[in-house]
Amino acid sequence: MIEVRLFGALRGRVGKAVVYVNASETTLGELLRMVAVAGGGTLYDLVVEGGSIKRGVRVLVNGVDASRLGGLSAAVKSGDKILIGPPLSAGGMVDITPKPFSYREAEAEGVIRLRPETVRLIAEGRVEKGNVHEAVKIAAINAVKSTPSILPYCHPIKITGVDVAMELLDSGVRVRVTVRSVEQTGVEMEALVGTTVGLLTVWDMVKKYEKDEEGRYPHTRIEYIRVVRKEKRTLG
């Protein structure tokens, strides 16, 4: 049996994600003719044009691009795995050159769940490592400014303002980060990164009080990280 895995629109046309073809040995082209397509025809009709694999279609034979194995003439045999789908995207940073500058603002928040006793230590300023609020503020601001170094396709934009708020809850801490800029792209990722690092900073500051006898964290967890507000205003 030869396994054929389908991705993208081809999966919908065939009606299955995986097709098993009962063949001991054949060519890739003949294999494609053996896979029927919903509504008539075969996979060959969808994948091949002018005697070659269509542009915009990627075919891998056991992880190797079929073009390196002879294309449609590539030999395939029982036990082989064929993957067919859209080509891998080169990806990269989105070109924002033509976009106008606008006022941008985004607010993100998240919560870290802690023991109530730990929250009291924070409120009373008795955490051994020091002022949790101040540490969170510094860490979140630094994280906002470092976002392009963490997320490879984020633009290194000019940040004009960052606000960091920390709210004590009955069993945790909420961190909220607001980021402002006059730029060609939004700042929600910066707000999310700042929030995440702020919450991690809380964890680091109080981990001594959150561990159980085995050094685990049965109560501590970070949750509900989200963008709560986003704003864009035209200048002038």
Active-site residue numbers? 204
3-state secondary structure of 213: coil
- List the structure tokens of 175: 């961190």
User: What are the residues facing 233 on neighbouring strands?
Assistant: 103
Measured distance CA(103)–CA(119) in Å, rounded = 37
3-state secondary structure of 93: coil
**Residues contacting residue 149 through CB under 8 Å, at least 6 positions apart:** none
What percent of the chain is helix, strand and coil (3-state, nearest 5)?
30, 35, 35
- List the structure tokens of 217: 């964290």
Q: Which residues of 43-71 are buried (b: 16+ CB within 10 A; e: fewer)?
A: bbebbbeeeebeeebbbbbeeeebeebeb
